[in-house]
Amino acid sequence: MSFFPKADAYATSLYSIAALCATFIFRPLGALVFGYLGDTYGRKTTVVITTMVMATSCIVMALLPTYNWYNSFYYNNIM
């Protein structure tokens, strides 16, 4: 399986760096959201919610098809 489309080494490195930078952007946003939930509803509820969100996202990522499948599905629907 491939995480990124087939490209040269420079483009693949650029995609990897962009994915890493996205974590630095969304981490403070998640801290704001879940910090508010923790202050409002308590620590236990927030831990349960974050665990469910992480488990759901891991399951979805495991079940996603590869990039090549999307290309073939797209081209088959056009024709």
pLDDT in tens, 6-58: 778 888 888 889 989 999 999 999 999 999 999 999 999 999 999 999 999 99
Residue 3 domain-assigned?
A: no
| Residue 76 confidence (pLDDT) | 73
Q: Inform me whether the pLDDT recorded for 1 exceeds 80.
A: no
Count of the separate structural domains present in the chain: 1
| Residue 64 confidence (pLDDT) | 79
Residue 11 domain-assigned?
A: no
Closest CA to 1 of 48, 75, 61: 61
Provide the residue range defining the domain that includes 68: 27-78
Residue 64 domain-assigned?
A: yes
47 or 2, higher pLDDT: 47
pTM of model > 0.75: no
Residue 14 domain-assigned?
A: no
Residue 48 domain-assigned?
A: yes
Residue 40 domain-assigned?
A: yes
Residue 41 domain-assigned?
A: yes
C-alpha–C-alpha distance, residues 39 and 35, integer Å: 6
